[in-house]
Amino acid sequence: MTEAPGALDDLLAIELSRGRAAGICGRLLAELGARVVKVEPPDGDPARWRQPLGPGGVSLEFRQTHAGKESLTVDLGVDAGRRLLQSMLGQADVFLHDLTVAELEALGLDLDRLSAELPQLLVCAVTPFGLTGPLATRPGAEVVVQALSGIMTTTGFPGDPPTKCGPPLAEYTGAIYGALATLAALAHRDKSGMGQVIDISQHDCLVFYLSSYLAGALVTGKNPSPGGNRHPSAVPWNAYPTLDGHALLCTANDRQWDTVLGVIGRTDLVGYEAYDSLVKRLARVDEIDEIVSAWTCQRSSAEAIAAFEAVGLPAGPIFEIPDLLRDPHFRAREMLIDVGDGGPLVAGSVFKLSETPGRVGRRAPALGEHQAIR
């Protein structure tokens, strides 16, 4: 059976990445059909040996990040290597990287020169702090970007020290915005014939996530505090204790509140003046949570969730990773796939398009595996 074409089947992207953000951006383009060639130093990208290691001593993270790509080794420390890279860019549609402006110039890849000599080329930079601004040259590990964005002060529970988000949110978000901006730039090039420079800052991405917090701070002058699993403008909204764990319940209006009261057998509180509006309930959030918890803590998570869902309330369990791996919905969506290298399954493609579906076409490449392919 012939595979469906990819939306970007005719696209060639040259990737020069050291971090995960640009690497994931390249993987997203590859999932959509682009030919993505990862340029590595002769001794390989150090990310290949980042713990934990999988089959053949290759990093499990590298297998995920670079699945679907080709690998070409180039010594950029010598003139011949730099000339080869410049020649490759002359044939490419996209140059994807995570270098600073100074690092680009050291390779002879001044942005103004690239725009003049290769006007059709899209140059996509996915960096911690962007190509401009006071922090543009600053090294930026994931947690540093989170810290300087302010997001760590909104994560966790009241009284906790600043807490980073579990997954590498800045890197993955930068990757997604990088891919999205590349698609927009391709659409513009189709109309104008002109490439452009795409400047994606992971820091900008996290700041955008904080838009509602920023608006509140501008009005009140106060720093928002972490709220745990509560919602700043909805109640009851929390992870409530059960006999065997927790049940998540999310409600947002008076009708849902009355429905909750019916489920937990507290219809005596319907219309109770102290709780008869969302504003009043928010002011008494501790009391509301105690009322709900008094019911959930006498039941299993499954029983509590089933009761809430039976009347149309948003509720659900809180999965650990092993729970997710067993989940039939997760399996049905094909979010774990076998790439044929004998190692653990890797994440599948999020892109579910009817005519040009995303796919992970191959395993991550061995170092220099595609050296003969130019």
CATH number at residue 260: 3.30.1540.10
Residues 35, 7: contact at Cβ < 8 Å?
no
DSSP conformational letter for 232: T
CA angle 365/370/371 to nearest 5° reads 130
Residues 139, 243, single domain; the answer is no
Task: Tell me the pLDDT of the chain averaged across its residues.
Answer: 95
With cut-offs at 50, 70 and 90, classify the pLDDT of residue 222. confident
With cut-offs at 50, 70 and 90, classify the pLDDT of residue 372. low
Q: Is residue 225 part of a domain?
A: no
pLDDT for 84 equals: 96
CATH of the domain at 93: 3.40.50.10540
Q: Is residue 271 part of a domain?
A: yes
Domain count, the chain: 2
| Residue range(s) defining the domain that contains residue 170 | 12-209+333-347
Q: Is residue 248 part of a domain?
A: yes
pLDDT digits (tens, 9 = 90+) for 171-207: 999 999 999 999 999 999 999 999 999 999 999 999 9
Cα–Cα distance list, 275 to 125, 263, 280, 285, 286 (Å): 51, 17, 6, 10, 12
Residues 199, 241, single domain; the answer is no
Residues 123, 252, single domain; the answer is no
Query: Phi-psi bin for 232: left (phi > 0), alpha (psi -120 to 50), beta?
Result: alpha
Residues 18, 161, single domain; the answer is yes
Q: Is residue 363 part of a domain?
A: no
Q: Is residue 159 part of a domain?
A: yes
> Which pairs count as long-range contacts for 213-219, CB under 8 Å and 24+ apart, including other chains?
213/150, 213/154
Mean pLDDT of 285-289: 98
Residues 152, 294, single domain; the answer is no
pLDDT for 167 equals: 95
pLDDT for 313 equals: 98
Asked whether residue 93 carries a pLDDT value surpassing 90, the answer given is yes
Q: Is residue 229 part of a domain?
A: no
Residues 191, 82, single domain; the answer is yes
> Which pairs count as long-range contacts for 157-162, CB under 8 Å and 24+ apart, including other chains?
157/226, 157/227, 157/228, 158/225, 158/226, 158/227, 158/228, 160/226
Asked whether residue 1 carries a pLDDT value surpassing 60, the answer given is no
pLDDT for 35 equals: 97
With cut-offs at 50, 70 and 90, classify the pLDDT of residue 2. low
Residues 188, 48, single domain; the answer is yes
